[in-house]
Structure 1
Amino acid sequence: MDEKDPDLYDARLRSWYIQAASSPKDMVILLDVSGSMTGLRKEIAIHVVLNILETLNENDFVNIFNFSTETTELVSCFNDSLVQANMENIGEFKKALKTIETKEIANFSKALIKAFELLQRDTFYAKYEP
């Protein structure tokens, strides 16, 4: 490829991207708040989460979990469930992101198990609950 010729490919204009971005999503975001995430790493992680939240709409359901040695909800009243990504709930997530403190050592296994269990449970109930 010629360095003077820019690559004009933009995935955001492709039908597969538009469909994935606009169809309803169930999402669990895991935010590493272990001691290794201080300073710029923490700021970058928070910025990424904020950008993800901006892509969601009211058809989406989401929760954010902090994890280090333990995995806990970022917003405690969202109590181990997916919540609708409406303006009020997104606002609660954004407010809580400002209070993040790093500590301890990351336990990725525990965090991933928690996320997959929640997604599996909420997806099951959404399909089979009367």
Structure 2
Amino acid sequence: MNSGTAKTCQASQSMYHPPCAEACSANGSTLEIGLDKKYQRVQQAALVAKPGDTLLLFDGIYNGGDFISRLHGSASAWITICAAEGNEVIYRGGAVALHISEASYLKIKGLIFEQQSGNGVNIDDG
């Protein structure tokens, strides 16, 4: 039995938002992702990410199909993929929205996955 406090989701018109997404904080660099940012897709930022970095997504609807391979943080410097505070980041459609392979010490926070025909997130070999 869990003695912790349960967290609830907030309802919007058509979807539920992740409960209490914590603000992202980086031990390393912050790699910004969005239509008007240096990186338009998570997989682009993941190619240059190092332990302790944060891949920070901004408002938008992102198409499914991002594939990330060999993304490794460390025990003392996790890599974080998350929505910027106050932003709504939605992965919509695709067979798999986000496929991560051979990864370690990785956190994913505050992203919404909807309307995938397969898995919203697939993590394997890590």
TM-score (norm 2): 0.26
Higher relative contact order (CA 8 A, sep 6+): 1
Report which of the two structures shows the higher radius of gyration computed on alpha carbons: 1
Question: Greater share of strand residues, 1 or 2?
Answer: 2
TM-score (norm 1): 0.26
Question: Greater share of helix residues, 1 or 2?
Answer: 1
